[in-house]
Amino acid sequence: MKEKIKTLTSEIQSEKIENIADLEVFRIKYLGTKGAIKSLFSDLKNVANEEKKEIGQMMNELRLTAENTYNAFKNNLSEDKSAAEKIDFSRPGEDFTIGSHHPISLVRSEIIEIFNRIGFNVSEGPEIEDDWHNFSALNFPPEHPARDMQDTFFIEKGENEMALRTHTSSVQVRVMENDKPPIRTISPGRVYRNEAISARAHCFFHQVEGLYIDKNVSFADLKQTLLYFAQEMFGEKAQIRLRPSYFPFTEPSAEVDVSCSICNAKGCNVCKYTGWLEILGCGMVDPSVLDASGIDSKVYSGFAFGMGVERITQLKYKVNDLRMYSENDIRFLKQFTSVL
Ligand code: DAH
């Protein structure tokens, strides 16, 4: 009996407990109702009377050893020392990915900021537009061939004709209907055209429209405003040139080229060796457009312009395929890390 107690004691003292599962095995083995110590106690009745006291005492000590061992391990584990000791504070931190702004957002914000500095506010209009704001008020009569210039996504044909706007010029009309001159506003937004998707055309893209209406606004004001914009956007060496053009809502109208910032106007494949890149359309607001929107064309004059954000982005970041803007390829998007 004494031998049994001694071997059990040393067995308990040499037990290794490393986790909760080990601890439970230990408890069942020694302290459980069917454990080794319980069965030893039930053997006590077979011990000779004169030895009972001594052996009883030894067994109590054994039980105490088992309980203390159990509690000591339990405390250790619950403090989770073993886990805490495993943390290596000298390890370098783990990398985590931060999103970046979309290039179209970056350039759109930059355009807004440039015009904010010279007093233009921002206005917006709906992407689903009626015929009046997208066409009629802008001087496109019903059968005007200019309506064919823009392949339109119609939502409803007929009397309540609704379409996805084909340009942000529709916002000009809304602003003129609601505000009184002086008006100095830019209207960024998404526009839609029914085009086959390719590297050079997409069925949706982004424009920024500009409108300035006051007394005595002249073509010289328009030209100077656009030169200021080009130099802020592409650098102080940037030059612009205006080519006569036609839009139904401006008279006279022009298209504007900026000197190629990629080759410093020396000629490269982006500017097709001309040194110039087309960036926007513009003109003096046609008096009939002013009148249609409730502004007296005998008192006020104004200029307007419209530019494609994808186009400006292409020139700034040398993106040569329009489809990349909407494909959500992380390898493309994460190159544009500047902070707004
Ligand atoms: N709306 C024209 C387009 O989508 C761009 C444009 C040209 C806007 C001349 C204007 C402008 O405001 O004056 O191509």
**pLDDT confidence bin for 146, thresholds 50/70/90:** low
Residue 227 in contact with residue 241, Cβ under 8 Å? no
Report how far ligand 1's centroid is from the alpha carbon of 289 (Å): 13
303 touches ligand 1 (CB under 6 Å):
no
Q: Is 281 in the pocket of ligand 1 (CB under 6 A)?
A: yes
Most confident segment among 24-33, 38-47, 48-57, 103-112: 103-112
- Check: CB of residue 183 under 8 Å from CB of residue 211: yes
Nearest-angstrom CA–CA distance, 99 and 324: 17
User: Could you tell me if residue 158 is left (phi over 0), alpha (psi between -120 and 50 degrees) or otherwise beta?
Assistant: left
Burial, 291: exposed, middle or buried (Cβ in 10 Å; 0-12, 13-18, 19+)?
middle
Please work out whether the CB of residue 250 comes within 6 Å of at least one atom of ligand 1.
yes
Under the phi-then-psi rule, with left for phi > 0, alpha for psi from -120 to 50, and beta for the rest, what region is 279? alpha
Instruction: Supply the mean pLDDT for the chain.
Output: 90
Verify whether ligand 1 is closer than 6 Å to residue 283 (CB atom): yes
Residue 144 pLDDT: 72
- For atom 6 of ligand 1, the residue with the nearest CA is 306
Residues in the chain: 340
Of the given ranges (41-45, 190-194, 219-223), which has the lowest mean pLDDT? 41-45
Name the more confident of 20 and 134.
134
Most confident of 81-95, 154-168, 170-184: 170-184
Q: Whose CA is nearest to atom 12 of ligand 1?
A: 305
pLDDT at 86 over 80: no
Q: Contact 206/190 with Cβ under 8 angstroms?
A: yes
Residue of 149, 167, 243 best suited for mutating to test ligand 1, as the one with most atoms within 8 Å of CB: 167
pLDDT in tens, 317-328: 888 788 999 999
Q: Amino acid letter at 316?
A: K
Strand-strand pairing, 183-192 and 121-122 = parallel
Q: Is 206 in the pocket of ligand 1 (CB under 6 A)?
A: no
Determine the distance from the C-alpha atom of residue 202 to the mean position of all C-alpha atoms in its chain, rounded to a whole number: 21
**Cα(209) to centroid(ligand 1), Å:** 7
Distance CA 258, CA 230 (A): 7
Give CA–CA dist 322/154, Å, rounded: 23
Rounded to whole angstroms, how far apart are CA atoms 270 and 38?
Answer: 91
**Closest CA relative to residue 167, chosen from 150, 183, 155:** 150
Find the 306 Cα to ligand 1 centroid distance in Å. 4
- Atom index in ligand 1 nearest the CA of residue 250 equals 13
Per-residue pLDDT at 39 = 85
Q: Which of 190, 251, 282, 293 to mutate to test the pocket of ligand 1 (most atoms within 8 A of CB)?
A: 282
Ligand 1 pocket member 167 (CB < 6 A): yes
Q: What are phi and psi of 276, to 5 degrees?
A: -125, 145
* DSSP tag of 250: E
Q: Read off the pLDDT of each residue in 205-209 and give the average, rounded to a whole number.
A: 97
Model pLDDT for residues 170-186, shown as the tens digit of each residue: 999 999 999 999 999 99
Q: Sort residue 80 into left (φ over 0), alpha (ψ -120 to 50) or beta.
A: left
**Can you tell me the mean pLDDT for 186-215?**
94
Q: Locate tokens 């409730």: which residue?
A: 294
Higher pLDDT, residue 108 or 73: 108
Q: Could you tell me which residues come within 8 angstroms of residue 239 by beta carbon, excluding any fewer than 6 positions away? A: 227, 230, 258, 259, 265
- Ligand 1 pocket member 282 (CB < 6 A): yes
Residues 6+ apart with CB under 8 A from 209: 167, 168, 169, 171, 172, 186, 187, 188, 189, 304, 305, 306
Instruction: Give the N- to C-terminal CA distance of the chain in Å, as an integer.
Output: 83
Looking at per-residue pLDDT, the higher value among 167 and 146 belongs to: 167
* Residue pointed to by tokens 């233009």: 120
The yes-or-no verdict on residue 79 having pLDDT over 60 is: yes
Rounded to 5 degrees, what are φ and ψ at 127? -80, -25
Check residues 196 and 296 and name the one with the higher pLDDT. Answer: 296
- The set of residues, in sequence order, having a beta carbon less than 8 Å from that of 11 and lying 6+ positions away, is none
Q: Which amino acid is at 319?
A: V
Whole-number Å distance, alpha carbon 333 to ligand 1 midpoint, is 29
And the tokens for 57?
A: 């005492």
Q: What is the pLDDT of residue 189?
A: 97
Radius of gyration of the chain (CA): 41
Mutate which of 223, 249, 251, 286 for ligand 1 pocket (most atoms within 8 A of beta carbon): 249
Q: Cα of 202 to ligand 1 centre, how many Å? A: 17
Ligand 1 atom having least distance to the Cα of 167: 4
Q: How confident is the model at residue 310 (pLDDT cuts 50, 70, 90)?
A: very high
Summarised one tens digit per residue, pLDDT across range 248-284 is: 999 999 999 999 888 888 888 878 899 999 999 999 9
Tell me the mean pLDDT in the region 310-318.
89
According to the model, what pLDDT value does residue 159 have? 76
* Per-residue model confidence (pLDDT) at position 233: 95
Q: What is the Cα–Cα distance from 272 to 260, expressed in whole angstroms?
A: 10
pLDDT (mean) for 240-245? 97
Q: What is the mean pLDDT of residues 154-174?
A: 90
Lowest mean pLDDT across 99-108, 151-160, 193-202: 151-160
Residue 169 alpha carbon to ligand 1 centre in Å: 6
Residue matched to tokens 């209406």: 213
Kindly give the number of the ligand 1 atom that is closest to the alpha carbon of 191.
4
